[in-house]
Structures are given as C-alpha cells and as structure tokens.
Amino acid sequence: MVSAQLLALVVGTLLGVYAARNPRGLLSHFVTLFALFGYAAPVFWTGILLLIAFSLKIPLFPVAGMQDVTVTGGFFARALDVAHHLVLPMVTLSTIFFALYSRLCRASMLEVLGSDYIRTARAKGLTGREVTMKHALKNALPPVVTLAGLQFSAVISGAVLVETVYSWPGLGQLALTSILARDTPTILGILFFSALVVIVGNLVTDAVLRALDPRLRGRA
C-alpha cells in the first residue's frame, strides 16, 4: 500500500507538472485520457488485464504470490524476489491514484503559473525549468499532498481486491478471508489497524504541509 501510494504520488505529480507546462500539447491530452481511464477502470479489472499481459502473454512478472520458494540466497536475493512480485500489484493499486494526483497537480500548477510572482520570476530572466521547479511546484503541491493524506483509506480498501487478484498474502487478503469465515475479532483488529494507518497518514500530511508552506508553521 505504501509503495503504491508513493508511486502514484511521484508519477502523478510529474505528469501533472509537465502537462501544465504545455496545457494544449499532446502530453496534456494524454494525461487527461489516462486519468479518465485510470479513474473509471475497476482496480480488479486493471489487475486482471496486467496479469494477462505481463504474466501470461509476456512472462515478465510472476503470476501470483509474494515470493518464490525456490529462491536461494541471502537477504538481498529474497528482497529482490519480493520486489519482483510486488511490481504488478503496486502498479495496479496505484492506477486510480495516478488519475487523481495528475489531474489535481495539473489544475493547481495552471493556477499557480498564472500568478503575478511567476510573471515576475520570468521577467527576471529565469528559465522555464527554474520557474516551474523552484517557484511554482512548491506552491502547487499542498492540494496534492492533502489529497494524498485523505486517500489512505481508499488505498486500504483497494488492497482487498488487488491482493485477491494476485494472491498476495497481505492485509486485504486477510480481511477477505476473515469476512468469509465470519472471524469477528480479526475483522475488528484489521479495522483498528486501518484506522491507525489513516490517522498516521493525516499526521504525516500535516507535517509535510507545514514544511511546504511557511505560513502554517506558526499556527497551533
């Protein structure tokens, strides 16, 4: 869940930034179409398509599971094997968040790029990259970071479907098994842990927002 959230946040932000720099270009239209597709497609359907494409038709990644029991070696060999198994579930779980972050970042960047201080920075002779990265991006990130903090609960709920598709032995798979078995204590434990993750995510979001916006540091 953490890897999917980070991947969606980084890639979605980068796509939104480059789309905002040329809002009528081909990349901007591609980001829009990709966002609509990613947001509309059910996560389990996306997982099945990726599984068929990159595990069955083009055998680049494992079909299911978290690790290969035949792998021998030390810690790094096993870590690479787990990372190899993680690629498809991580990409599947992050597709819907790509759409949210890229569209929001694009809209926020377009608003910031039209501000007076951006025109002043350009008038000083700064390059387009310097204006975007040093001045515009930092002020466009707070809405994206806020949305990322609010999406932790959605990531947890999506993990139930993704882990079922890929037979990943994680929290989602445990939740599904517990619901089918009517294991109430385990379900309550999962709900408590999920609530704890959401709370920690919101606290981290507040800390990041304070780091991005100096105006928030003096507030209680």
Task: Give the tens place of pLDDT for each residue, 79-89.
Answer: 888 888 888 88
Q: What is the pLDDT of residue 185?
A: 92
Query: Collapsing DSSP states into helix, strand and coil, what is residue 39?
Result: helix
E strand or H helix that includes residue 123: helix 116-123
CATH superfamily of 2-216: MetI-like (1.10.3720.10)
Residue 220 has pLDDT above 60, yes or no: no
Give the residue from 96, 100, 89, 102 showing the smallest Cα distance to 31: 102
Q: What is the pLDDT of residue 65?
A: 80
- pTM beyond 0.85, yes or no: no
Residue 75 neighbours by CB under 8 Å, 6+ apart: none
Task: Give the tens place of pLDDT for each residue, 154-202.
Answer: 777 677 778 888 888 888 778 878 888 989 999 899 888 888 888 888 8
Task: Give the tens place of pLDDT for each residue, 31-81.
Answer: 778 777 877 888 888 888 988 999 888 888 888 888 877 777 777 888 888
Q: What is the pLDDT of residue 216?
A: 66
CA angle, corner 176, sides to 170 and 177, nearest 5?
90
Q: Which residue has the tokens 């869940």?
A: 1
Are 85 and 62 in contact by the 8 Å Cβ rule? The answer is yes
* Angstrom distances, CA of residue 198 to CA of 31, 87, 153, 156: 28, 24, 6, 9
Task: Give the tens place of pLDDT for each residue, 2-27.
Answer: 888 888 888 888 888 888 887 777 87
- Sketch the domain layout of the chain as residue ranges: 2-216
Residue 219 has pLDDT above 60, yes or no: no
CA–CA separation, 34 vs 95, rounded Å?
Answer: 9
Q: What is the pLDDT of residue 218?
A: 59
Q: What is the pLDDT of residue 217?
A: 63
